């Protein structure tokens, strides 16, 4: 469900960006999402973050996961970077998360999981090979993608380490509010803030707010509480193939044999990472840390 919902973000961006600049679009989207989540938390009497530290940590996660990640991706696409190229850059996030999680979170991967990460990279490259060969890249566009990659990676690790004890609805509302404020400053500083309120833009905004900002992001935070950062992050490998399938169904973009092979390779790679060998889960050596797939909901 997470992969299906998250992958539609590129489709929503393609529909909405012709009518609003990226920072303006995202500032509005996240402000609406913050208001809706805040109202939902109030109606359900869900707890708010309890300490200034929890508010601060939620704000940091919001700036990393939403301002840096979404801002980088949307800016790159708006300035001519093909969506497939942007997707393949940010899909390298699982490799960085897996490498850093062992140092920061004590999540160590076994050999077959590292093999899965390599397969995941190979599969994403196969799926997006036509987009990569098309060119059209600029230094600024690539830099925006790298910023998005860094923001998503550090944000995932920060959320896994500090987010378990923060109320989900209230903490996410704080994330969106903080991210929207930073994006508003960026929009006022660098853009005209003009929005063309067409039916297509409104429909795309409704989808981006309700399905992505509420549905997919809450699923991501829930998954991070239930599993390891490296295992959850590996699901991002499936986003570019899912986006390619959606683009075929919606826009008629053809899927060639190489892309179909890439989808299969990517799926196998994800399966190897999120389903480690039984011996690594049930019979760890004395004194060794748990495998990444065996992290309990309370671990951090």
Residues 204, 12: contact at Cβ < 8 Å?
yes
pLDDT at 91 over 80: no
pLDDT (0 to 100) of residue 296: 37
**Is 221 inside any structural domain?**
yes
pLDDT (0 to 100) of residue 171: 92
Return mean pLDDT, the chain.
Answer: 82
**Is 299 inside any structural domain?**
no
**Is 300 inside any structural domain?**
no
Q: 20 has which bridge partners?
A: 195
More confident residue, 210 or 101: 210
Residues 161, 300: contact at Cβ < 8 Å?
yes
**Is 255 inside any structural domain?**
yes
CA distances from 135 to 72, 144, 237, 286 (A): 19, 16, 22, 51
Mean pLDDT (whole number) for 39-52: 91
Count of structural domains within the chain: 1
pLDDT at 131 over 70: no
**Is 19 inside any structural domain?**
yes
| pLDDT tens digit sequence for 270-282 | 778 776 555 544 4
CA count, 13 A, side-chain hemisphere, 185: 7
Q: Of all residues in the chain, what percent carry a pLDDT higher than 70?
A: 86
Domain of 109 in residue numbering reads as 2-294
| pLDDT tens digit sequence for 146-175 | 899 999 989 988 988 888 789 988 999 999
**Is 182 inside any structural domain?**
yes
Q: Of all residues in the chain, what percent carry a pLDDT higher than 90?
A: 34
pLDDT at 294 over 60: no
**Is 42 inside any structural domain?**
yes
pLDDT (0 to 100) of residue 135: 61
pLDDT (0 to 100) of residue 299: 41
pLDDT bucket at 290, cuts 50 / 70 / 90: very low
pLDDT at 120 over 60: yes
Q: What interhelical angle do 168-190 and 217-226 show, nearest 10?
A: 130
pLDDT (0 to 100) of residue 139: 79
Give which of 113, 110, 105, 114 is closest to 285, Cα–Cα: 110
| pLDDT tens digit sequence for 215-266 | 998 898 888 888 777 778 778 878 878 887 887 788 776 777 887 888 888 8
pLDDT bucket at 194, cuts 50 / 70 / 90: very high
pTM metric for this prediction: 0.76
SS3 36: helix
What is the Cα–Cα distance from 97 to 235, expressed in whole angstroms?
Answer: 12
């Amino acid at each position: 469900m997470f992969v299906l919902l998250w992958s539609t973000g590129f489709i929503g961006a393609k529909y909405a960006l012709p009518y609003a600049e990226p920072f303006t679009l995202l500032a509005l989207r996240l402000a609406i999402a913050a208001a809706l989540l805040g109202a939902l938390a109030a109606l359900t009497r869900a707890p708010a973050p309890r300490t200034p530290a929890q508010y601060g940590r939620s704000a940091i996660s919001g700036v990393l996961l939403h301002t840096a990640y979404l801002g980088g991706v949307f800016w790159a696409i708006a300035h001519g970077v093909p969506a497939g190229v942007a997707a393949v850059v940010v899909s390298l996030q699982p490799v960085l998360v897996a490498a850093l999680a062992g140092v920061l979170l004590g999540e160590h991967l076994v050999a077959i999981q590292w093999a899965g990460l390599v397969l995941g990279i190979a599969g994403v490259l196969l799926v997006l090979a036509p987009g990569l060969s098309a060119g059209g890249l600029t230094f600024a566009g690539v830099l925006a993608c790298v910023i998005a990659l860094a923001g998503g990676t550090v944000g995932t690790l920060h959320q896994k380490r500090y987010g378990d004890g923060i109320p989900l609805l209230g903490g996410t509302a704080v994330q969106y509010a903080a991210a929207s404020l930073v994006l508003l400053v960026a929009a006022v500083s660098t853009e005209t803030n003009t929005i063309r309120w067409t039916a297509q833009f409104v429909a795309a905004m409704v989808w981006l707010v309700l399905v992505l900002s509420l549905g997919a992001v809450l699923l991501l935070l829930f998954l991070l509480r239930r599993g390891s950062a490296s295992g959850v992050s590996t699901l991002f490998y499936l986003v570019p193939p899912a986006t390619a399938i959606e683009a075929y169904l919606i826009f008629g973009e053809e899927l060639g044999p190489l892309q179909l092979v890439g989808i299969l390779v990517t799926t196998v790679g994800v399966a190897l990472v999120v389903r480690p060998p039984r011996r690594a889960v049930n019979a760890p050596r004395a004194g060794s840390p748990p495998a990444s797939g065996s992290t309990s909901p309370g671990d951090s």
